[in-house]
Structure 1
Amino acid sequence: MVKQTLVTDCGSEPGLISIDTAMALLSTSVTPLAVERIPVAQACQRTLASDTFAAVDLPAFSQSAVDGYALRINGSAPAGSRFTLSGEIRAGQVVDRVLQPQHAVRIFTGGKIPPGTTTVARQEIVQRVSSSGIELLAALEPHRDIRDAGEECRKGSLLAQAGQYLNAGAIAALAMAGVSQVAVYRLPRVALLITGDEVSSRGQAADSVDDGKIHDANGPLLSAWFQQHGIACERFYVEDCMDTVAQTLAQLKANYDLVISTGGVSVGDYDFIRAAAKTSGFEQVFWKVDQKPGKPLFFARCIANETVGKDTGSNEQNNCYLLGLPGNPAAVYVTMQVYGKILLNALQGVSHLPQWFPARLQAPIKADKRERLLRMVYTFVNGEIVVSNPGNQQSHMLGNLFQTNCLVRIPADESLSAGMRVFCQITNLFQAY
């Protein structure tokens, strides 16, 4: 664990911090947001704030696992055994009468087995011999195809722990266990601040963008990134003016939990984010990371009350965090995939860092003086992840994002041969091939 220490002198090249240090500082410098209780049906893409327990047994009653016949036999039954048919049980129907020896009841998947049942014969091994009789076509053991009450979990047993991310499957599991509401962390209020006089913010057609202007990629990129994470955000554009940037940050700080800015974090004459952040009440945590792309990464915070949230997880005193990204769109994409995820996790009470998986290089890679985060393509070869470089890795290029589905860490000052081991982070688990 990296000690949470504010880095105040990262401006020179010797002061660059490592990727691992930056990730740890992000994870440990954030207070989780407030907790709220919401219906399970509305909790997809949220994070549990407390342990959650089953409200009922699963299954709630002993039931048939197949369409077939509930039987009462003494031990096993050989092929050719006959039974008297005495009724039918559909799913959702309750029959309380006790099943008698050598009797059978027609039953369907999910149907509650009647008292006295010792086994269930699936319909594929049964033939009707009369209107009220059946015969087994194969031998049958006791207790076949019965789902016992509580075999998955008992009422009051732990279903999911705090920090669990709720996807569609988790929602289904909670609902089936009778959980109607869950305690989750509030979603962050997010503002996107796009800087740069050269950026056209009007979504103009290609032939109508003013001379010297460029189409905005960062705003749509970040909006889509948060949309993928189930979070709404608002977008703001600001001119390269110190006073304007400072005033805008001060306003955003008062109304949002998280501000993501693009551009204005380097050392140019018109890079005002750091100075404006200080003026508007933010405290720098770190600036500049020994990585490529995204070296001038900036993270600052404005803590309204250091004690808020330590006992309750509440952040209602309007703490605000500022993640200042470079202006080049590929750097924006890469830094959000790594650091944006960590920041969101921390706001949702999750302190562990994303996992990096071992992989093999398909082709050699030349050395660079900084550690690189390359957009690459992973495939599985003989049960192992193999990563390949599609090229066009410059920080102003985005074309390879049509193919790439992972980020790969390439150590500084090392030339890597084909087949050497590297570490990757999966960025697209649902990409079609």
Structure 2
Amino acid sequence: MVQVEEALSIIAKNSCKMPIRKIKVAKSLGFILAETIYSPMDMPPFRQSAMDGYAFIHSELQQLDVVSTSQAGDFSNKKIKENQAIRIFTGAYVPDDLDTVVMQEHTAVKNKKVEITKMPVRFANVRNKGEQIKENELVLEKNTLITPAAIGFLACLGITEITVYVKPKVAIVVTGNELVKAGRKLAQGKIYESNSIMLQSALQGIGIKKIEVFRVKDNLKATKRVLKSCLSAFDVVLVSGGISVGDYDFVKEALLSNGVEELFYKINQKPGKPLFFGKKDKTIVFALPGNPASTLTGFYIYVHPALKISMGFESIYLPKIKRKITVPFENTSGKTVFLKGLYDDEKVTILESQSSAMLNTFATANALIYLPYDVVDIAKDQEVQVIPLY
């Protein structure tokens, strides 16, 4: 049995980044960049007007002849005199001779003449060539998360493809004779299976979409067969249930018989002590306890960082913050404890129904309270570590 920090260290050492490939920028949302990108051009590529108004040569003259118009997309470098101006619109090309744009709200126009009622400073409202970024300057560093803004930035530079880390394909294997798919009739002795849809949602929440769910009865032969297939076809295998020491818990035996290397089994924690982590070739395996709250806690604490590593993230762990606990707590278990909680700007409250089988308070929790195994007595208003989930 390992301690929590040791388990996290083992996972980090044995998880690796996925391969890289080129994809369309338009389809890159949520991926991690696997290359450093430099600008192929100046942006803007020409001097632009930042306002709707009038472009002119800055001087003491306040009344000017309007001699032409420049709309966005137009180009004209016609010579403009000091006593002249052009009607111009936001984003339009500013001819080389002109240095200033006065916004239309500060003008009065009559008979093709414009009077400047409030003179701007010289160079006002003109975006210079390369003002946003110059050719060969850094656009995005390697390991940057691609966001909508990043996609827009790349697109405005004419970049259509980028190299990213591939996202892993994940198999979810759910074990248990007692489980029934939601929507079907529930017979005596059966319960609805919720872990698969919960894990799918958690995976989708970090941008993983290639997910398949497999269901298997508590049978060694069937468990071996399903796991063998998953180990050869997926990058990550998540098993729900069947990892304890009961007469019908066959997952560990089935994994080992399929050549999975056991890297640890059982963690000194509550909930979720019977948790297995292993590896076969480049496929990593987590066998999580079947109790729903244990499953989800295991995902957030252990599976989440492994997946972040595979996708190319540099920051892989959920953040930890400190808050004052609202009630005293005694941890006599000798285990690291993860408690479902609600936190705000100052405090954190332990919720009721901490059982590993219960999701009712997990559904309203916004954090896990992390209490190390060697801390026994926690006083009211003492600061504790909190892991925000939402």
TM-score, length-normalised on structure 1? 0.83
Query: 1:109 maps to what in 2?
Result: 90
Stretch of structure 1 that moved more, 157-166 or 188-197: 157-166
Query: 1:394 maps to what in 2?
Result: 355
Superposed, which structure 2 residues align to 1:216-255 within 5 Å?
Answer: 216-228=193-205, 229-255=207-233
Superposed, which structure 2 residues align to 1:293-372 within 5 Å?
Answer: 293-303=271-281, 319-361=282-324, 363-368=326-331, 369=333, 370-372=335-337
For 1:427, the aligned partner's letter is L
Residue 17 (str. 1) matches residue 3 (str. 2):
yes
Given candidates 166, 188, 203, the residue that maps to 2:182 is 203
* Structure 2 Cα separation of the partners of residues 418 and 174 of structure 1: 51
> Are residues 131 and 53 of structure 1, via their aligned partners in 2, closer, same or farther at CA, if it must alter by over 3 Å?
same
Mapped contact 2:72–2:93 kept (Cα < 8 A): yes
Superposed, which structure 2 residues align to 1:31-430 within 5 Å?
Answer: 31-74=16-59, 81-128=62-109, 130-200=110-180, 202-205=181-184, 208-228=185-205, 229-303=207-281, 319-361=282-324, 363-368=326-331, 369=333, 370-380=335-345, 386-412=347-373, 413-428=375-390
Report the Cα offset of residue 216 of structure 1: 0.4
* Structure 2 Cα separation of the partners of residues 425 and 55 of structure 1: 42
Report the Cα offset of residue 365 of structure 1: 4.2
CA-atom RMSD, angstroms? 2.1
Instruction: Give the secondary-structure state (helix, strand or coil) at the position aligned to 1:86.
Output: strand
Stretch of structure 1 that moved more, 36-45 or 338-347: 338-347
* Structure 1 Cα separation of the partners of residues 82 and 93 of structure 2: 18
* Structure 2 Cα separation of the partners of residues 355 and 148 of structure 1: 42
Instruction: Give the secondary-structure state (helix, strand or coil) at the position aligned to 1:116.
Output: coil
Stretch of structure 1 that moved more, 276-285 or 235-244: 235-244
Instruction: Give the secondary-structure state (helix, strand or coil) at the position aligned to 1:400.
Output: coil
For 1:416, the aligned partner's letter is I
For 1:176, the aligned partner's letter is C
Report the Cα offset of residue 23 of structure 1: 2.1
* Structure 1 Cα separation of the partners of residues 121 and 380 of structure 2: 56
Report the Cα offset of residue 261 of structure 1: 0.6
Instruction: Give the secondary-structure state (helix, strand or coil) at the position aligned to 1:422.
Output: strand
* Structure 1 Cα separation of the partners of residues 361 and 83 of structure 2: 69
Stretch of structure 1 that moved more, 323-332 or 146-155: 146-155
Report the Cα offset of residue 84 of structure 1: 1.9
> Are residues 139 and 166 of structure 1, via their aligned partners in 2, closer, same or farther at CA, if it must alter by over 3 Å?
same
Stretch of structure 1 that moved more, 401-410 or 59-68: 401-410
* Structure 2 Cα separation of the partners of residues 272 and 173 of structure 1: 51
> Are residues 409 and 147 of structure 1, via their aligned partners in 2, closer, same or farther at CA, if it must alter by over 3 Å?
farther
* Structure 1 Cα separation of the partners of residues 344 and 126 of structure 2: 41
Q: Where does the alignment leave 5 or more consecutive residues of structure 1 unmatched?
A: 1-9, 11-15, 304-318, 429-433
Report the Cα offset of residue 180 of structure 1: 0.7
> Are residues 53 and 405 of structure 1, via their aligned partners in 2, closer, same or farther at CA, if it must alter by over 3 Å?
farther
* Structure 2 Cα separation of the partners of residues 414 and 60 of structure 1: 64
For 1:124, the aligned partner's letter is E
Instruction: Give the secondary-structure state (helix, strand or coil) at the position aligned to 1:154.
Output: coil
Q: Where does the alignment leave 5 or more consecutive residues of structure 2 unmatched?
A: none
For 2:199, the aligned partner's letter is L
For 1:91, the aligned partner's letter is A
> Are residues 353 and 73 of structure 1, via their aligned partners in 2, closer, same or farther at CA, if it must alter by over 3 Å?
same
Mapped contact 1:99–1:115 kept (Cα < 8 A): no
CA offsets 1:328-365 (integer angstroms, 9 cap, x no match) = 11111122122222111121233543252423235124
Aligned residues: 386
Report the Cα offset of residue 418 of structure 1: 4.3
CA offsets 1:201-228 (integer angstroms, 9 cap, x no match) = x3334xx212111100101111222233
Mapped contact 1:82–1:102 kept (Cα < 8 A): yes
> Are residues 299 and 119 of structure 1, via their aligned partners in 2, closer, same or farther at CA, if it must alter by over 3 Å?
same
Instruction: Give the secondary-structure state (helix, strand or coil) at the position aligned to 1:387.
Output: strand
CA offsets 1:75-133 (integer angstroms, 9 cap, x no match) = xx5xx8222212221112222223322322221111121112212111221222x2221
Report the Cα offset of residue 184 of structure 1: 1.2
* Structure 1 Cα separation of the partners of residues 121 and 210 of structure 2: 56
* Structure 2 Cα separation of the partners of residues 25 and 361 of structure 1: 31
* Structure 2 Cα separation of the partners of residues 386 and 83 of structure 1: 64
Report the Cα offset of residue 150 of structure 1: 1.4
Instruction: Give the secondary-structure state (helix, strand or coil) at the position aligned to 2:51.
Output: coil
* Structure 1 Cα separation of the partners of residues 336 and 237 of structure 2: 26
Query: 1:309 maps to what in 2?
Result: none
For 1:399, the aligned partner's letter is N
> Are residues 93 and 274 of structure 1, via their aligned partners in 2, closer, same or farther at CA, if it must alter by over 3 Å?
same
For 1:174, the aligned partner's letter is L
Report the Cα offset of residue 25 of structure 1: 2.0
Instruction: Give the secondary-structure state (helix, strand or coil) at the position aligned to 2:244.
Output: coil
Name the % identity. Answer: 27
Instruction: Give the secondary-structure state (helix, strand or coil) at the position aligned to 1:57.
Output: coil
* Structure 2 Cα separation of the partners of residues 388 and 137 of structure 1: 61
Instruction: Give the secondary-structure state (helix, strand or coil) at the position aligned to 1:276.
Output: helix
* Structure 2 Cα separation of the partners of residues 137 and 419 of structure 1: 62
Mapped contact 2:275–2:288 kept (Cα < 8 A): yes
For 2:385, the aligned partner's letter is F
Report the Cα offset of residue 39 of structure 1: 0.5
For 1:336, the aligned partner's letter is F
Mapped contact 1:27–1:351 kept (Cα < 8 A): no
